[in-house]
Chain A
Amino acid sequence: MSEIQSTVFMALQTNDDTRPIIEALERDNPTAVVNYLPAMVKIDAPGRLVLKRSTVEEIMGMAWDLQSININLISLSGNVEETDDEMILHWNR
């Protein structure tokens, strides 16, 4: 075990598809830190990060399939739990 404070992250391409996703992540995860890098956005959060389909849909004003995140997802860390309604990244301890 290291003395590192555990964080999870999700990295997404910078494009029009991911803008509402990033906004939803910011809204639902107040402790998340959004890092803008060339062509990509990396969202770090201590311990846990949740992406809710309902929040993305509310922002977009239309139905959205959570699995379509596969198209724009660059990388992630943490254990993944995925249902139709949300995708959670977390460390168990």
Chain B
Amino acid sequence: MTNFATSKPPVHKMNLKEKYGLMTRDLAWETSYQPMDKVFDQLGLEGIKIHDWDKWEDPFRLTMDAYWKYQAEKERKLYAVLDAFQQNNGQMNISDARYVNTLKLFLTGITPAEYNAHRLFAMLGRQFPGAGAAIACQMQAADELRHVQTQIHSISQYNKYFNGLGDHRVMNDRLWYLSTPKSFFEDAISSGPFEQMIAISFALEYLLTNLVFMPFMSGAAYNGDMATVTFGFSSQSDEARHMTLGLECIKFVLEQDPGNLEIIQGYLDKWFWRGYKVLGLVAMMLDYMLPKKVMSWKEAWQIYFVQNGGSLFNDLSRYGLRLPKYWEQTVAEAEHLSHQVWNNFYNFTGAAAMHVWLPSDEDMEWLSAKYPDTFDKHYRPRIEHYRELEAQGKRYYNDNLPMLCQVCQVALISTKMDDPTKISHRELDHDGEKYHFCSDGCRDIFQAQPDKYVSAWLPAHQIMQGNCFEPGVDPEASGFDAMAEVMKYFHVTPGQDNMDYKGSVDERNWNEWKGFTKDSETKSS
């Protein structure tokens, strides 16, 4: 037997930087059959100037071989936990069945967004001539697809036991409140390549994704949901890399040409506001939907936006970049956001795909302690009023369709900053039509690109126009029930997938499985 160890010259072990240079950066080439600007034909369209792609630095210096190695290890860990979770009926160990409603919102709202992120990065990787940027995009495209698959796989166990989890794909396409995250991604994916990077890698991943994953996953852990914590942290371990891509991208572009600043600041202002409006759903999850709560929306916003974002912009100010427009408003609104979003879902639960419930006395004490300046004054009285109505058998529902903001597609439910009893409403005339907005932020976005937003697919308008019925439905037929037909179109089974948790099939099953007696109150530990 030949002793290879002694017959070969000693192998030089490459360090990280050399390995990255050879196995990533050197993979790019100048095209010869076609000129480079034809191959990368979207690059000049936004007015961003790049002079030297070699200045792009990937801080993680992750080569493809290392990428696959670590991703495989993450998957092995995740699936070992999922096996254990399923084999041991882990769904029975959650704090309370109400908790599952956060998963319904997650699976229908966030998981399809991950898929859109996958599509976006797969296309985006094709647009950059720099190998560092292109490979980072390719890795992210593969990551996002992994997130979709692992989320669907993990939550599928809950789908066997709870309602509302059976059809996330159709629901994401059709359900009114899910048009907010959906339109966010469709807006991004139809932008230029640099705008996409600022929208997703910087504004969403760097500034805002911590708000979704960190308090929520920590909340999942606190509520005994082993499956979600595990897929959440597995996803989030990729996010750390995505965030550095966002930061690297913004620094790289700003360093390349002084003329890029104004364009980038505009993208940042826009996408910060777009992202913030999507996060109203997360605010509600934290304050109203986790049976055992970890931190309030206001606290999370303070830690992850004010502190973390403030540090970031201290650093970026050397390029002349400032905090995104209207950021102060988001801090002021943190006092109100979750209460107003929750109220909307309480009113429109008949058209949603999850259950709602009134906060308990304990919940209200918590809310009052977390929001001493606003909860008792503005929101407790309303909840107490709802409670009284429920006790009288007159549970309040809103049967109307809400007016939606033309840009973020959230119903006009937020209030004026100087008067929390009045709805904030902006309007604008464009081409002989009137358009409505929830805020100055959304109005500004419309004004900058009116042609893009006039074509928005607004669920309330589409329902009114009769575009939300299954094929073959005849609105002229006698006994036609528009709302029932819309629910069929949403793939929502009324009363089973939505309405109050109290009295639901989910509640009945849970009490039976857990051995709670019929007339005892549902335990919410």
Contact = CB atoms under 8 A, between A and B. Distances in A.
A7 interface: yes
Interface string B215-241: 001110110000001000100110111
B66 A67 contact: yes
Contact of B315 (A68, A76, A84, A92): A92
B167 to A, nearest CB: 30
Interface in A1-50: 1-9, 11, 13, 37-40, 42
A76 B213 CA distance: 12
A93 B321 CA distance: 14
Interface size class of A (residues with CB under 8 A): 35 or more
B70 A71 contact: yes
Interface stretch (B54-62, B390-398, B429-437, B455-463): B54-62
Q: Which residue of A7, A9, A38, A92 has the most chain B CB atoms within 10 A of its CB atom?
A: A38
Contacts of B240: 70, 73-76
Given A71-B73, A75-B239, A84-B15, A91 B214 contact: no
A68 B308 contact: no
Contacts of B496: none
Contacts of B313: 1-2
Given A1-B322, A73-B237, A84 B16 contact: yes
B210 A75 contact: yes
Nearest to B73: A71
Interface residues of B, number: 46
A20 B66 CA distance: 22
A92 B251 CA distance: 12
A5 B294 CA distance: 25
A79 B59 contact: yes
Contact of A38 (B15, B222, B323): B222
Nearest to A42: B214
B74 interface: yes
A84 B16 CA distance: 6
Contact of A71 (B17, B237, B247): B237
A6 B312 CA distance: 8
B213 A75 contact: yes
Interface of B: 15-17, 59-62, 66, 70, 73-74, 77, 209-210, 213-214, 217-219, 221-222, 229, 233, 236-237, 239-241, 243-244, 247, 251, 294, 306-308, 310-315, 317-318, 322-323
